[in-house]
Amino acid sequence: VYTNKDGYVKVNLPEDATKKYTIRFFEEDNTPLFELKELKTRTFRIDKSNFFHAGWFRFEIYEDGKLLEKHKFYLEKDF
């Protein structure tokens, strides 16, 4: 999970069709924002309008219910 040059949030998951992935997004203070469950598409983008402000956001990626990755990303403010 990272931001691209256009400010969109890009997601690239492993191409293993036998695994089920879930991504949870949080505010920087750990307040839950939204969750994407059992993702079928492995590479996609999330529009920045789904995040209501600029700043730091956290995410957690789960593979078959087990935490795979935990990190954060920054969305810049549009002018």
Each residue's pLDDT tens digit, 23-64: 999 999 999 999 999 898 899 999 888 888 889 999 999 999
Question: pTM here?
Answer: 0.88
Burial of residue 30 (number of CB atoms within 10 Å: 0-12, 13-18, 19+): exposed
Q: Are 15 and 42 in contact (CB under 8 A)?
A: yes
- Rounded Cα gap, residues 1 and 72, in angstroms: 8
Q: Within 10 A of 42 (CB to CB), how many other CB atoms are there? A: 14
79 pLDDT tier (thresholds 50, 70, 90) = very low
| Best CA proximity match to 25, nearest among 71, 76, 65 | 71
